[in-house]
Structure 1
Amino acid sequence: MSLIVQKYGGTSVGTTERIGNVADKVAGWRDKGNDVVVVVSAMSGETNRLIGLASDITDKPSPREMDVLVSTGEQVTIALLCMALEQRGYPARSYTGSQVHILTDSSFSKARILDIDNQNVQKDLSAGRVVVVAGFQGVDEHGSITTLGRGGSDTTAVALAAALKADECQIYTDVDGVYTTDPRVVSDARRLNKITFEEMLEMASLGSKVLQIRAVEFAGKYNVPLRVLSSFEEGEGTLISYEDEEMEDALISGIAFNRDEAKLTILGVPDQPGVAHKILGPISEANVEVDMIVQNIAEDSTTDFTFTVHRNDYDKALDILKQSADELGAREVNGDNKIIKISLVGVGMRSHAGIASKMFETLAGEGINIRMISTSEIKISVVVDEKYLELGVRALHEAFELEKSPQ
């Protein structure tokens, strides 16, 4: 007998009919002899409806009361799913985040999980019940309801799986796994049978929306095998776990891309210690996250400093950089918010040379000019003009033959 933790997102439980379908899936796993804990999100659209109600009342709601409000969405789903399971003859019991005592810090709307008391869940499992837990929420040390922010239900499921020492954590969503790249861009993108935590972290941080970064980090930290499955189709999905020999066969596992990039450059800055901090310090203080950084030293003892930020932060960062330029005596400041980032990801890069060279050759062959380059042990990222996104991704996907399964 295995212990399985399953998570179903908003679209999976968007109607009572779909909740019934989820109950059938859970029943199928129970019939195979497994213990099952289910984590659910609010029904699709419900959280936005609740936020809309708050905005009808006030422009500046209390963060604490907003968490009390939006956490009610999941409470509806857990009760309806338990009803559906019991109607099918499977004993079930629902828990809110506070009832199962998912202890968090007090950062309302973006709380972090500190501890989970799994005693009641274990008792119910021992009694043969399916346990249904509200995702996205917890309780702080003062008894206040908290929510975990975007992707919080994924994080709840992984944390519960870790606390219960589950055999697998299954994330059911509207796609049937992790693909070599977005199938909407490359029609012959291939579903991956396996991917490592490291690769999935890179893919998630670089723009892949299949899983939230926090959930993958949590799973990697506590060695919880993750599987991404479709709520609407049968299949084995994609298993996310630690690296094994089979995974090393693939040079590249996938291509991620991010449309939300913007680039800023400050030219002619004095080349002396502390300049980088003087440039990026005010940017950081404004809560703007910097991604890629490139510095070029000129013959006249000045340096050109380029970095990327999220496109939503472009105007703010540009204004700050212009102020810094005056203080530093820089020659010029310019920016570009019409760029994108394309990244190759794969643990096979560690032991194979020539990946970067082939990437650059492929892009050059399509007439795509590279603006910036960043590398890590299992990733190569390039910044190019946004008009080349689909062409670049398709060309790289074909060049590295990602449509083919590794032999």
Structure 2
Amino acid sequence: MNFIVQKFGGTSLSSDDLRAKAAAKIAGARQEGYVPVVVVSAIGRLGDPYATDTLLSFAQDSGNELPPRESDLLMHCGEIISGVIMAAAIQKTGCPAVFLTGAQAGIITDSSFNNARILRINPENIIRHAREGKVVVVAGFQGVTAEGEVTTLGRGGSDTTAAALGVALDAAQIDIYTDVDGIMTADPRIVNDARPLDVVTYNEICQLAHEGAKVIHPRAVEIAMQKGIPLRIKCTFSDAPGTLVTSREEVFKGAIDITSDRTITGITHIQDITRIKVVTKDAGDVPDFQKRIFKAMALAGISVDFINVHPEAVFFTVKNTVAAKAVQILVNMGICPEVLPDCAKVAAVGAAMTGVPGVMAKIVEALAEEGIQILQSADSYTTIWVLVKMEDAGKSIRALHEKFSREM
């Protein structure tokens, strides 16, 4: 069977009109000879009646503290409501449809409530319904343990569900429908002339997602990449072709038309982070001192990022929300750190930058021309990061987008 997985986000399902548009996309896939398997998120966002955050807020308004197991039982209801309504919308078009929960779809996870990982999928129930000519609608974001406990997959979990089903069904393609026309060169709310990209590599979109782009969850990309299943990011509200996500070999071998001089694919950012600096030059056994700093953060469950380790000092960033905790841990160790809150990490991502001279020079030049101070920098084969003050984040993104606009 020629499966295609179509995932629709909550904003694509929040009204009868939008659900009708989604049903039309599903009908179109059937007309093209595909067997659609539809994955849905909960309807809407915080404030909408059946959104996941609304359900949580309702339960917690009276000061209740929900245990992780019980919060998963509550949170998985949003996708069930959404899936039942979407199946009805598909049936309204004259096409048979059936809704399956994560458990009914055979999605087995570990027991990490609120942030479970999919261990395996038994797609027999999906395949049985598909052979009967039905469109199968599956609740995203959820699964079940081997013992029958309901779990949820964490933020972006519906994307992960779609990718995992695509792999389990050996789908021809996974389509992620959102409210934008694809992956953009930058956040269009910040850069007026940001534009959608025709094609990106798996690695590029993983980097963009990890560094703040919110169109697709990086875990979903990693799952699809393992089996080489193409992803396409598309808009529910238009017929735009969207952005194809595929392997670097497909992009650069010439099978897909892409300009060879696209050094930078996109500019993205993460804000609300705090930089912490610890002077180590007078610490005696410097390697042991450095080890104790990061071990203390790990034991406290604090994720550190943007790490620069030098003989004289250690730099790293944490989220603003845990900065006070991180600082107190260091103080308890007898360390007096230098703290700079409200920073932003701005990233320039591009698979083609590897080995290209002058990329960092252009980044420094673009920011210097705007009088923006670079607080830290780091790079990999596909990404260059700079840390700036949060008040300079928007200006930095616009400056870098303009500097590389001819190479994007």
Q: Structure 2-normalised TM-score?
A: 0.92
Counterpart among 378, 384, 401 of residue 388 in structure 2: 384
2:321 paired residue number: 312
**CA offset at residue 333 of structure 1?**
2.0
2:56 paired residue number: 51
Is the contact between residue 11 and residue 174 of structure 1 (CA under 8 Å) also seen in structure 2?
yes
Q: State the alpha-carbon separation in 2 of the partners of residues 250 and 40 from structure 1.
A: 34
Pick which of 351-360 and 173-182 moved more: 351-360
Structure 1 pair 148–361 and aligned structure 2 pair: CA distance change class (3 A): same
Per-residue CA shift, 1:45-75, capped at 9, x if unaligned?
Answer: 3123322342256622232222222212211
Per-residue CA shift, 1:249-270, capped at 9, x if unaligned?
Answer: 4111011111122101122542
Counterpart among 86, 89, 96 of residue 91 in structure 1: 96
2:264 paired residue number: 252
2:132 paired residue number: 127
Q: State the alpha-carbon separation in 2 of the partners of residues 172 and 40 from structure 1.
A: 10
* Residue 276 (structure 2) pairs with residue 264 (structure 1): yes
Per-residue CA shift, 1:198-238, capped at 9, x if unaligned?
Answer: 11111111111111121122122232211111111221001
1:322 paired residue number: 331
What code does the residue aligned with 2:323 have?
A: Y
**CA offset at residue 278 of structure 1?**
1.1
* Residue 294 (structure 2) pairs with residue 280 (structure 1): yes
Gaps of 5+ in 1: 298-302
Secondary structure at the counterpart of residue 356 of structure 1: helix
**CA offset at residue 12 of structure 1?**
0.9
Per-residue CA shift, 1:104-134, capped at 9, x if unaligned?
Answer: 0111111110111111212222222211111
Per-residue CA shift, 1:273-301, capped at 9, x if unaligned?
Answer: 3121111111111111111122343xxxx
1:37 paired residue number: 37
Secondary structure at the counterpart of residue 327 of structure 2: helix
Is the contact between residue 169 and residue 224 of structure 1 (CA under 8 Å) also seen in structure 2?
yes
Secondary structure at the counterpart of residue 128 of structure 1: coil
Secondary structure at the counterpart of residue 270 of structure 1: coil
Q: State the alpha-carbon separation in 2 of the partners of residues 165 and 142 from structure 1.
A: 27
Is the contact between residue 194 and residue 247 of structure 1 (CA under 8 Å) also seen in structure 2?
no
Q: State the alpha-carbon separation in 2 of the partners of residues 215 and 183 from structure 1.
A: 23
1:291 paired residue number: 305
1:300 paired residue number: none
Per-residue CA shift, 1:313-337, capped at 9, x if unaligned?
Answer: 111111112222x1xxx5x421011
Is the contact between residue 248 and residue 347 of structure 1 (CA under 8 Å) also seen in structure 2?
no
**CA offset at residue 173 of structure 1?**
0.8
What code does the residue aligned with 1:270 have?
A: A
1:191 paired residue number: 196
* Residue 371 (structure 2) pairs with residue 367 (structure 1): yes
Is the contact between residue 104 and residue 125 of structure 2 (CA under 8 Å) also seen in structure 1?
no
User: Identical aligned pairs, as a percentage?
Assistant: 39
What code does the residue aligned with 2:305 have?
A: D
Per-residue CA shift, 1:69-109, capped at 9, x if unaligned?
Answer: 22122112222222222221111111111111100011111
Secondary structure at the counterpart of residue 11 of structure 1: helix
Q: Structure 1-normalised TM-score?
A: 0.92
Q: State the alpha-carbon separation in 2 of the partners of residues 348 and 218 from structure 1.
A: 23
1:114 paired residue number: 119
Q: State the alpha-carbon separation in 1 of the partners of residues 21 and 195 from structure 2.
A: 27
2:255 paired residue number: none
Structure 1 pair 294–52 and aligned structure 2 pair: CA distance change class (3 A): closer
**CA offset at residue 271 of structure 1?**
5.3
2:9 paired residue number: 9
Pick which of 29-38 and 110-119 moved more: 29-38
Q: State the alpha-carbon separation in 1 of the partners of residues 395 and 276 from structure 2.
A: 24
Q: State the alpha-carbon separation in 2 of the partners of residues 153 and 64 from structure 1.
A: 19
Q: State the alpha-carbon separation in 2 of the partners of residues 64 and 334 from structure 1.
A: 39
Structure 1 pair 144–169 and aligned structure 2 pair: CA distance change class (3 A): same
Q: State the alpha-carbon separation in 2 of the partners of residues 49 and 340 from structure 1.
A: 29
2:26 paired residue number: 26
